[in-house]
Amino acid sequence: MAVRKTDPARPLAGQVAVVAGATRGAGRGIARALGEAGAFVYCTGRSVRGEPSSYNRPETIEETAEIIQSAGGSATAVRVDHTIEADVRAMFDRVFQERGRLDVLGDSVAGEDPALGPWTAVWNTGLEQADTALRQALLSHVITAKHASAHMRKQRHGLIVQVTEGDMLFGGGNVVADLVKSGLKGLAARLAEELRPHRVAAVAVTPGYLRSESMLQHFGVTPATWRDGGKKDPNFLASESPLFVGRAVAALAADRHVLQRSGDLISSWEAARTYGFTDEGGERPDWGLHWRKILPSMPGMKAGQQRHAEWLDRISARAKAYVN
């Protein structure tokens, strides 16, 4: 029997991926990278031509699918509201009817949802849209993982990726956003334990300083002139394109031993160190290294991070005491 050889340039050839929230930002980057690696990509989300979401942004899932196709990949756009369970169930049923398999779910739904609110302290946090934020940015991920995992466990194969923020336990600009971002990390850890016997992996992945469409607009730059944003914020020079975190997800999906990483919280820059990929322009941004350089200039943040590390040590020691 002949052994099928994998094309190193397209390691996911023949595989099928669903990218939830593929409209823009990290979701679009993940969809592009999975298509680049050879997977057939279902780009899902609410923003379609003539019927945008409430974000008031111009990007659409059709545009994402067309970007993949123009680069030589295969993709289709499917409008799905991931807060509606019946719609999500129907979408995954369609994937299996059309393709007969599901290898990767990348979930980036509501990563930049305006309902999450701005950076502020708890006493200044507006809660008028908190229930909307939790439903759109957290519960939607639970709904989507539920129906993806139902199919993946039967085929005894798959990878579920939760896109979050920050490479430590906490993350987010206010108490509501923090509950969402921390919750996604916990969701990946829980899914990992439940799905491990079925040989399905689940991880949480975070980008660094992301050059999303909205961030480029904020700095008044384009993907080609993004470095000009460093004149307003020098940290922007350490930023990464959405394709960089996308290539992290594609590398994980191509890793035959990814089950060993199930439950992990993985950053784009750590994945690049491990797997050797680069960003769109050939550079290899490393937000973790940059953060280590600038943290000493923020004594309050540094002290809080030290307390965070000590808290994690106590939790770890307690867990080890139970199992030893």
Note the CATH number of domain 16-285: 3.40.50.720
What pLDDT digit, counting tens, does each position of 246-258 carry?
999 999 999 999 9
What pLDDT digit, counting tens, does each position of 233-291 carry?
999 999 999 999 999 999 999 999 999 999 999 999 999 999 999 999 999 999 999 99
Q: What is the mean pLDDT of the chain?
A: 95
Is-contact 182 166, C-beta < 8 A?
no
Token digits of residue 76: 């289709």
* Residue 170 pLDDT: 82
pTM for the complete prediction? 0.96
* Residue 70 pLDDT: 98
Task: Go through 222-259 and write b for each residue having 16 or more CB atoms within 10 A of its CB, e for each that does not.
Answer: eeeebeebeeeeeebebbbbbbbbbbbbbbbbbbeebb
pLDDT above 50 (res 2): no
How many Cβ atoms are within 10 Å of 71's Cβ, its own excluded? 11
pLDDT above 50 (res 147): yes
CA distance 199 to 152: 9
| Annotated domain spans of the chain | 16-285, 288-324
What pLDDT digit, counting tens, does each position of 29-67 carry?
999 999 999 999 999 999 999 888 778 899 999 999 999
